[in-house]
Amino acid sequence: MNIAMISYHTCPLATLGGKDTGGMNVYVRELTRHLGQLGVHVDVFTRSQDEHVPHVLHDLGYGNRVVHIPAGPEVPLPKAELAGYIPEFVQGIQQFTQQKGLHYDVIHSHYWMSGVAAEQLKESWQVPIVHMFHTLVRMKNRIARSNEEIEGGYRLEGEQRILEVADRIIVATPAEQAQLEFLYLADSKKMVTVPPGVDISHFYPIPMDEAKAVIGIQPDEHVILYVGRIEPLKGVDTLLRALAILAREGSPNDLIIIGGDPGPGADQSDREMARLKALTHELGIGDLVVFLGKRSQDFLPYYYSAADMVVVPSHYESFGMVALEAMACGTPVVASQVGGLAFLVEDGKTGFVVPGGDPEALAARLSDLIWQPGLRDRLGREGARVARRYAWPNITRQIIRVYEDVIKNPDPSPAPANPSSYS
């Protein structure tokens, strides 16, 4: 089986924590690796963003490739500019496949711009499309707090069009399916629920003292950890306000933030980072917050294991890869009760869920975990147990069944058996 994986706007090999690098990058990279382990050939097509990086890389193993297609300037571009280069991107893919004499059985596209590219490829290749949105613009717009955060026009049209032309839509949770049905009037027969996976050979519990020693944290330090992109959608300001409440109460903890770029030039280029750093000083917690910037995936298990808890305060998440990685490392998660997080984090069992945007409620749960080490240990152990259900080999086999089904039966009527199992 040969799969054309489309990740137009971001490369699965990119360093995590940047503006457009996060859970989707991890998803595409790990799924490709594990498909290779099971004998499925994958070419991941992504837009070239650096002329000095070879256009074809074999960094995912098992003969699977990342193919960087020049489309527009080979530099990072704002998402608003990227859509205009999709036709050039598609043309580049077609030229590559013609030169190599390649044929694919399925196109698996990620995010709406990749779906637009997939539609154009489907017309010439005559193969089915399996699509994953990862985020939905109608959900993002519903919780946007400023006009700058609202996306419209082309993306709205693109997402609606993808729902029409894709042969299968993979959703991470039943909540995402409900959102698609309610907000987009999507055809439920096309949808198959398969959650993202986690690499339990990489993300596993490390003794806290050993993890702290590796990353340079003192044994007696209490750490609250945030990992993710720095953007308003992620709700980091809510976490900072919760930390200020804890500080007033005398709770012994620091906050480590992984993501973004805290360097000297960041304040000019990243208004959200600048806003958050200003907020820490306004709240009087500047000495309690450390902005570490981007960190390699290789070191994340040490940070997760060194932390007393991991906080995911997002206003919207289709799933929540960070929460799953933290659980796999045996660290309790406190997450907003939104989207996939409300499904993934079992309140009082693997962590806690709190109303989004409520610093008082968040602070209360963080305080519970700070002052009750037995509770932390119990939630962490259960989180690690639950995370094993999401091991990538299990998830990959479910994805393969989706591929096999869509090849045999592109028409989803009658509805295919849902291959997902969470138990």
Q: Each residue of 28-53: pLDDT tens digit?
A: 999 999 999 999 999 999 999 988 89
Domains and CATH numbers, the chain: 2-197+391-408 (3.40.50.2000), 208-389 (3.40.50.2000)
Report pLDDT for 261: 63
Amino acid (1-letter code) at residue 214: V
Report pLDDT for 45: 97
CA pair distance 7, 133, nearest whole angstrom: 11
Mean pLDDT of the chain: 89
Work out the pLDDT band at 414, boundaries 50, 70, 90.
low
Name residues whose C-beta falls within 8 Å of residue 369's C-beta, 6 or more positions apart in sequence.
Answer: 308, 309, 332, 334, 352, 375, 376, 379
321-345 exposure pattern, b = at least 16 Cβ within 10 A, e = fewer: bbbbbbbbbbbbbbbbebbbbbbbb
Please state whether beta strands 309-312 and 223-227 pair in parallel, antiparallel, or not at all (unpaired).
Answer: parallel
Torsion from C-alpha of 302, 305, 306, 311, nearest 10 degrees? 110
Please tell me the pTM assigned to this model: 0.86
The beta-strand segments (E) located in 289-377 are 289-293, 309-312, 333-336, 351-354
DSSP state of 418: P
CA pair distance 328, 392, nearest whole angstrom: 12
Work out the pLDDT band at 22, boundaries 50, 70, 90.
low
CA pair distance 324, 333, nearest whole angstrom: 9
Predicted confidence (pLDDT) at residue 187 exceeds the cutoff of 90 = yes
Q: Other CB atoms closer than 10 Å to residue 252's CB: what's the count?
A: 11
DSSP state of 345: S
Q: Is 189 exposed, middle or buried (0-12, 13-18, 19+ CB in 10 A)?
A: middle
Contact indicator for 391, 115 with CB cutoff of 8 Å: no
What phi and psi, each to the nearest 5 degrees, are found at residue 218? -65, 145
Work out the pLDDT band at 415, boundaries 50, 70, 90.
very low
Q: Other CB atoms closer than 10 Å to residue 165's CB: what's the count?
A: 15
- What are the angstrom distances between the C-alpha of 80 and each of 76, 123, 150, 153, 376? 12, 25, 12, 11, 43
DSSP state of 83: G
Q: Each residue of 379-396: pLDDT tens digit?
A: 999 999 999 999 999 999
Predicted confidence (pLDDT) at residue 136 exceeds the cutoff of 90 = no
CA pair distance 305, 261, nearest whole angstrom: 23
Predicted confidence (pLDDT) at residue 20 exceeds the cutoff of 60 = no
Structure token pair of residue 196: 């993202």
295-318 exposure pattern, b = at least 16 Cβ within 10 A, e = fewer: bebeebbbbbbbbbbbbbbbbbbb
Structure token pair of residue 7: 């990740």
Q: Other CB atoms closer than 10 Å to residue 243's CB: what's the count?
A: 26
The sign of the torsion formed by the CA atoms of 320, 322, 325, 330 equals negative
Q: Is 218 strand, coil or helix?
A: coil
CA pair distance 45, 288, nearest whole angstrom: 42
Q: Is the model more confident about 177 or about 266?
A: 177
348-361 exposure pattern, b = at least 16 Cβ within 10 A, e = fewer: eebbbbbebbbbeb
DSSP state of 315: S
Q: Each residue of 41-88: pLDDT tens digit?
A: 999 999 999 888 999 999 888 889 999 999 999 998 887 889 899 999
Work out the pLDDT band at 306, boundaries 50, 70, 90.
very high
CA pair distance 351, 331, nearest whole angstrom: 9
Nearest to 67 by CA among 23, 99, 20, 105: 99
Contact indicator for 149, 138 with CB cutoff of 8 Å: no
Report the percent of the chain where pLDDT is more than 70: 91
Q: Each residue of 357-378: pLDDT tens digit?
A: 999 999 999 999 999 999 999 9
The beta-strand segments (E) located in 159-308 are 168-171, 191-193, 223-227, 254-258, 289-293
Query: Picking from 10-24, 206-220, 304-318, which range would have the lowest pLDDT averaged per residue?
Result: 10-24
How many residues comprise the chain?
A: 423
Contact indicator for 319, 173 with CB cutoff of 8 Å: yes
Interhelix angle for 236-249 vs 271-282, to 10°?
10
Nearest to 108 by CA among 407, 416, 321: 407
Chain-centroid distance, C-alpha 138 = 18
CA pair distance 416, 419, nearest whole angstrom: 9
